[in-house]
Amino acid sequence: MFDFLSQKFSSLFSRFDNGEKLTESNVAQTLDQLKQALLEADVPYRVVDSFTQSVKEDVLGTKAIASLKPAEHLMKIVQDKIIMFLGGEGVVAPFPSSMVLMVMGLQGSGKTTTLGKLAYKIKKDALKEGKTKKILVASVDFYRPAAIDQLELLADRVGVDFYRTQSKQPLLAVKEIISRHQQHCYDVLLLDTAGRLHVDNNLLQELQEIDALLQPNYKILVLDAMTGQESLSVAKVFEDTVGFKGAILTKMDSDTRGGSAFAFRYVLKKPILFVGEGENVADLSFFFPDRAAERILGMGDVRSLIEQAEEKIALNEREKAEEAFKSGSFSLQDFADQMAMMSKLGSLSQLLKYMPGGGMNVSPDVIQKGEVELSKFRAIISSMTLKERLNPSILDNSRMKRVAQGAGVVQQDVAMLLKRFEEAKQYVKLLNRFGSH
Ligand code: GDP
């Protein structure tokens, strides 16, 4: 997310690293580069203009803060502006406990996938609070072949109820869905609607009729972030005809330049509620303008990483890992468990994106080598017996040979793993010693 802008922006401020003072001319140059970066990210010209104008006014209008270096001062102003342009502090309003929600958008924008993600999120959030929610998903997308089958599969994967209407006439189908919802006392109804390849009047009229009949609490526009400025005109048409509460930007994991997030918020004055960052049901996150700003400015986003760890790694797994660390009984089995735990968060390169600098200083070769090493380690540990994992010192030459063969690696790889493991153990010991003082 925002990798493109992050790369451009971080190089903008490095010229001030030597403590160079802010002058009218170097600020003007930096603002020009800022403008260029935003335009390249497909942010519309008027939004870029307003952004840089507003940064300029603040730079010229505020006194340098004594505790901040010039670069930090400028960066702070840019950071505040990015937050403002992306929607302010961004309050995450939880969904009400019972609701009807309808998603809208063009075909291919990611509506159906997003509906599955929302069902997953609502179900999981309720479970976290020890509650179970009755969730129904249904679709009136009779235009895209297989859209309804796709939703059925998703509902099955997430473990929520799915209803297939008898009628294929959208309004009659909505009536069926409403009575299903009421008869079975569902807490939540999520409705997928038809998209087209382009906005057309029939689609909009149909949506207006569905809206009037269903009276949803939430209408959410799903927008493909890859479409850039085009998505803005789509959003405007939906806003003028059907209206919506906020948007979900999908495909933020892809090679998107991030311009749509800037433009959407500024032009539509509606919040971006969530962003889709992958094809799996868990790949939906709340959108926080302040965290996005930190990522754009290469400050990393460790908070989101921690939250993801909490979401994706079960509590007992985390507790087990901490326990092994603390007790000093850190075994190869724990090592393997931790690797499996980390892989739930994503690949090394994905993890690096959350770190300050976004992993830009780490060359792709090094990342690639790390990924290969990790997958070898996984294979080696899985071809060991439990006894060997708990007590690796019994791994003599012949055992090492057997393990290497089983994992499809050479014996040196096994020796390398043992070396790394010993290093990790020493490190854990050291941490424990510090912890106990
Ligand atoms: P619909 O026509 O609007 O219902 O779109 P779909 O839900 O079928 O999505 C279209 C394509 O986009 C599918 O291949 C999805 O897997 C993919 N997709 C949806 N959301 C995301 C996302 O956040 N990231 C990525 N990489 N792909 C997505």
- Topology (CATH level 3) of domain 308-435: 434 Repressor (Amino-terminal Domain) (1.10.260)
User: Residue 326 — very low, low, confident or very high, per pLDDT cuts 50/70/90?
Assistant: low
CB distance 151 to 139 below 8 Å: yes
Question: In the chain, what percentage of residues exceed pLDDT 70?
Answer: 82
- Topology (CATH level 3) of domain 3-86: Four Helix Bundle (Hemerythrin (Met), subunit A) (1.20.120)
Q: Is 131 exposed, middle or buried (0-12, 13-18, 19+ CB in 10 A)?
A: exposed
**Distance of CA 400 from the midpoint of ligand 1 (Å):** 45
Please name the residues in contact with 75: beta carbons below 8 A apart, sequence gap of 6 or more.
13, 297
Give the per-residue pLDDT at 86.
86
The most confident of the ranges 21-25, 55-59, 406-410 is 406-410
Give the containing element (helix H, strand E) for 97.
none
Protein residue with its CA nearest to atom 13 in ligand 1: 110
Question: Encoding tokens for residue 266?
Answer: 């500024």
Protein residue with its CA nearest to atom 6 in ligand 1: 110
Mean pLDDT value across residues 339-346: 73
Phi-psi region at 20: left, alpha or beta (left = phi > 0; alpha = psi -120 to 50): beta
**Distance of CA 285 from the midpoint of ligand 1 (Å):** 15
**Distance of CA 110 from the midpoint of ligand 1 (Å):** 4
Least confident of 266-275, 283-292, 346-355, 410-419: 346-355
Least confident of 165-169, 370-374, 393-397: 370-374
CATH superfamily of 99-300: P-loop containing nucleotide triphosphate hydrolases (3.40.50.300)
Nearest to 373 by CA among 344, 399, 335: 335
Give the per-residue pLDDT at 436.
44
Q: Which amino acid would we find at residue 280?
A: N
- Whole-number Å distance between alpha carbons of 184 and 416: 59
> Where does CATH 1.20.120.140 sit in the chain?
3-86
**Distance of CA 113 from the midpoint of ligand 1 (Å):** 6
Mean pLDDT value across residues 365-378: 80
For residue 185, pLDDT beyond 90: yes
Give the per-residue pLDDT at 118.
96
For residue 395, pLDDT beyond 70: yes
User: Residue 429 — very low, low, confident or very high, per pLDDT cuts 50/70/90?
Assistant: low
Of the two residues 292 and 410, the one the predictor is more confident about is 410
Give the per-residue pLDDT at 371.
79
Best probe residue, ligand 1, of 113, 121, 153, 274 (max atoms within 8 Å of C-beta):
113
- What pTM was computed for the model? 0.72
Give the per-residue pLDDT at 437.
38
Best probe residue, ligand 1, of 149, 279, 284 (max atoms within 8 Å of C-beta):
279
Give the per-residue pLDDT at 241.
92
Give the per-residue pLDDT at 355.
63
Protein residue with its CA nearest to atom 2 in ligand 1: 108
Give the per-residue pLDDT at 68.
64
**Distance of CA 109 from the midpoint of ligand 1 (Å):** 6
Nearest atom of ligand 1 to the alpha carbon of 144: 2
Give the per-residue pLDDT at 80.
87
- Whole-number Å distance between alpha carbons of 162 and 160: 7
> How many residues comprise the chain?
437
Residue tagged 């302010």 (tokens):
88
Around ligand 1, the residues with Cβ closer than 6 Å are 105, 107-113, 144, 147, 195, 250-251, 253-254, 276-279, 283
Give the per-residue pLDDT at 342.
72
> Where does CATH 3.40.50.300 sit in the chain?
99-300
Nearest atom of ligand 1 to the alpha carbon of 250: 23
Give the per-residue pLDDT at 419.
86
Least confident of 82-86, 179-183, 329-333, 425-429: 425-429
pLDDT digits (tens, 9 = 90+) for 87-139: 876 556 668 889 999 999 998 999 999 999 999 999 998 988 888 999 999 99
DSSP per-residue letters across 391-434: -GGG--HHHHHHHHHHHTS-HHHHHHHHHHHHHHHHHHHHHHHH
> Where does CATH 1.10.260.30 sit in the chain?
308-435
Cα torsion 284, 299, 86, 306: sign: positive
Give the per-residue pLDDT at 129.
84
Of the two residues 48 and 364, the one the predictor is more confident about is 48
Of the two residues 31 and 353, the one the predictor is more confident about is 31
Best probe residue, ligand 1, of 120, 224, 238, 250 (max atoms within 8 Å of C-beta):
250
Mean pLDDT of the chain: 83
